[in-house]
């Protein structure tokens, strides 16, 4: 039986640390670290994530400021809001929930966020800093994956890590963090010939492709540690004949679990870590901004 890497337990540990750091921040400066969360439109999944972010922020002693904008918000209106939040000293972290409605330019909005307040770590300045190993705000999902990997494996030096997927949000920063931790890193993607053969060489396999249960046991080196970043809703015929909605990862958990050394479940794996690391980044941003202000 593989070790089940429990994202709920590990994220609770991270959030405990954030809560005591937030209390110390309040003690030192008389203000709570502030996180602004911006949601445009009514995507149901995004609404759930935003609600959870606000709840975790409040529980951790952060000040959360929620901005909900209608679906037909213009780029100019969103830019103006981001500019106001950039200028607001009570706001230390800014997060624009993705995906944005199709008429909005995500790349432009991300670039408009002040890099010091970019708690998602998506701004080109933070992306560049990460790639050259400089201090930066690190994207939350890959940061959460690293915390789980280090908790279960300790030092990752010399391990061969295979990342399946090359998105800007997960695959690319994940590869950069694994490299920084002295892993040998292979990224496989849709144009890789025989990705399965490469995946089978990984001591660590990180799946971030967005295809339900694509990674079966025949992708896994026996004894590997498997991190499943996928969150996919599927419909299945239930025992009574009706359709049931179910949340599954990119990894076929039942098939891979007997082969792996350790594996994250979906739900309850990487997802809660993403939110916990967002709170952690807000603390990092708040401390840096406070130091820069010299007060």
Binding status of residue 247 toward ligand LMY7XDAE by CB under 6 A: yes
120 annotated active-site: yes
Binding status of residue 173 toward ligand LMY7XDAE by CB under 6 A: no
Binding status of residue 264 toward ligand LMY7XDAE by CB under 6 A: no
- DSSP letter at 215 equals B
97 annotated active-site: yes
196 annotated active-site: no
- Positions in 113-132 near ligand LMY7XDAE (CB under 6 A): 120
> How many chain residues bind ligand LMY7XDAE (CB under 6 A)?
18
* Shortest CB 273 distance to ligand LMY7XDAE, Å: 8
Q: Is 191 annotated as a binding residue?
A: no
What is the spatial distance between Cα 204 and Cα 18, in angstroms, rounded to a whole number?
A: 28
* Shortest CB 200 distance to ligand LMY7XDAE, Å: 26
Pick the binder of ligand LMY7XDAE from 34, 39, 41, 49 (CB under 6 A): 49
Q: Is 114 annotated as a binding residue?
A: no
Q: Is 136 helix (H, G, I), strand (E, B) or coil?
A: coil
The β-bridge partners of 185 are 161
* Shortest CB 120 distance to ligand LMY7XDAE, Å: 5
Within the chain, residue ranges assigned H as helices are 7-29, 44-59, 75-87, 106-112, 124-131, 140-153, 171-180, 195-199, 253-256, 270-293
**What is the bridge-based pairing of β-strands 243-248 and 232-237?**
antiparallel
What is the spatial distance between Cα 217 and Cα 240, in angstroms, rounded to a whole number?
A: 29
Q: Please state at what angle helix 140-153 crosses helix 270-293, rounded to 10 degrees.
A: 110
Give the interface with ligand LMY7XDAE as residue ranges (CB under 6 A). Answer: 48-49, 95-98, 120, 140-141, 231, 247, 266-268, 271-272, 274-275
């Amino acid at each position: 039986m593989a070790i089940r890497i429990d994202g709920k337990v590990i994220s609770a540990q991270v959030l405990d640390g954030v809560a005591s750091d937030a209390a110390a921040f309040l003690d030192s400066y008389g203000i709570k670290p502030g996180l602004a969360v911006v949601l445009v439109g009514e995507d149901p999944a995004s609404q759930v994530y935003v609600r959870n972010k606000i709840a975790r922020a409040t529980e951790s002693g952060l000040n959360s400021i929620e901005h909900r904008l209608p679906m037909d918000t213009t780029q100019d209106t969103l830019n103006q809001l981001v500019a106001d939040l950039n200028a607001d000293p009570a706001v230390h972290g800014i997060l624009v929930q993705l995906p944005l409605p199709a008429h909005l330019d995500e790349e432009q909005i991300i670039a408009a966020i002040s890099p010091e307040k970019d708690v998602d770590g998506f701004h080109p300045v933070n992306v560049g800093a990460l790639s050259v190993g400089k201090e930066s705000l690190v994207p939350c999902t890959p940061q959460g994956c690293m915390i789980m990997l280090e908790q279960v494996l300790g030092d990752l030096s010399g391990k061969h890590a295979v990342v399946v997927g090359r998105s800007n949000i997960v695959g690319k920063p994940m590869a950069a963090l694994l490299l920084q931790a002295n892993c040998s890193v292979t990224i496989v993607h849709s144009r890789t010939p025989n990705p399965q053969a490469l995946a089978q060489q990984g001591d660590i396999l990180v799946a971030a492709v967005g295809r339900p249960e694509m990674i079966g046991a025949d992708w896994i080196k026996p004894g590997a540690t498997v991190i499943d970043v996928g969150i996919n809703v599927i419909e299945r015929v239930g025992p009574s004949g009706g359709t049931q909605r179910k949340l599954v990862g990119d990894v076929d958990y039942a098939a891979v679990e007997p082969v792996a050394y350790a594996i994250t479940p979906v739900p309850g794996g990487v997802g809660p870590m993403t939110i916990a690391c967002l709170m952690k980044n807000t603390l990092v941003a708040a401390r840096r901004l406070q130091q820069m202000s010299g007060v």
